[in-house]
Amino acid sequence: MSEQLIEVVDNRGVLRLTINRPQALNALNSAVIETLEQILVELEGRDDLRAVLITGAGEKSFVAGADISEMQDKTPAEAREFAGKALRTIKRLETLPVPVVALVNGFCLGGGCELALACDWAVASDNAIFGQPEVLLGVIPGFGGTQRLPRRVGPAMALDLCTTGRKLEAQEALRIGLVNQVMSQSELQDYADTLSKQLSGNGPQAVRSAKQAIHDGMDQDLDSALALETGLFALCFAGGEQREGMTAFVEKRKPDF
């Protein structure tokens, strides 16, 4: 394939993935989904992985949705297979043991919004547009939107968005908790660079443990989740990372993780 559908840049274990179909507003088709899954399978086995940042090529679109031209003639069985493949791929992204951050640099609609929802958090440029407009096409979100969106913004807002198909500007997405921050396009790139430095400089096992504690704990009762936290906290003292971090603090130097 002459076109590199997803560009991968590795900076000290912080990977930046750029979905590269700007001519189609970075819409998700089967080839992009398959390429993303292949990349994620490889990442699952990397002990040196620190974080994953995902964005779209250009300044117009993060991901404008699934590729409608590819979907319009599918049978129910083919639609189920297509959605199942996308769900599996997005789940791989969601369950990576390191922070996964969406850098939303424009349209973030349909499958693009569902991709961002599978990330641990999202930040957006001020021109970003969000939405789950599938009902306007006679379908519903099929890549996890009906389940992840209410968990992020609450069921009432999720029903609003999924049944009206209305779109949100970046500031409203910030207000409802869909994104953590809104900034200009240039600031978004600066944010990505700063975040990469922060995450690559922190204790890698501690970062993984923090994600595990929060993600796994959300599905447990409070007492069980607190016990999980205590166990993971204790495990931090089992290796050299904690000793290096605390020794560096006492010695007033930067730790070497």
Instruction: Tokens for 218, please give them.
Output: 């959300």
CA distance 238 to 198: 23
Q: Give the residue from 213, 241, 175 showing the smallest Cα distance to 99.
A: 213
Long-range pairs for 4-8: beta carbons < 8 A, 24 or more residues apart:
5/31, 5/32, 5/35, 6/32, 6/35, 6/36, 6/39, 7/57, 8/39
Q: Which of 44, 114, 187, 251 is catalytic?
A: 114
Task: Please give the C-alpha separations between residue 104 and each of 27, 41, 76, 242, 252, in angstroms, as whole numbers.
Answer: 14, 23, 31, 34, 37
Residue 52 near residue 42 (C-beta atoms within 8 A): no
CA distance 9 to 55: 12
Residue 171 near residue 163 (C-beta atoms within 8 A): no
- Tokens 């501690």, residue located: 206
Determine phi and psi for 144, rounding to 5 degrees: 105, 0
114 included as an active-site residue: yes
Q: Which of 134, 229, 244, 251 is catalytic?
A: 134
Q: How many CB atoms lie within 10 A of CB 11?
A: 16
- Any idea how long the chain is? 257
Q: Give me the active site residues, please.
A: 114, 134
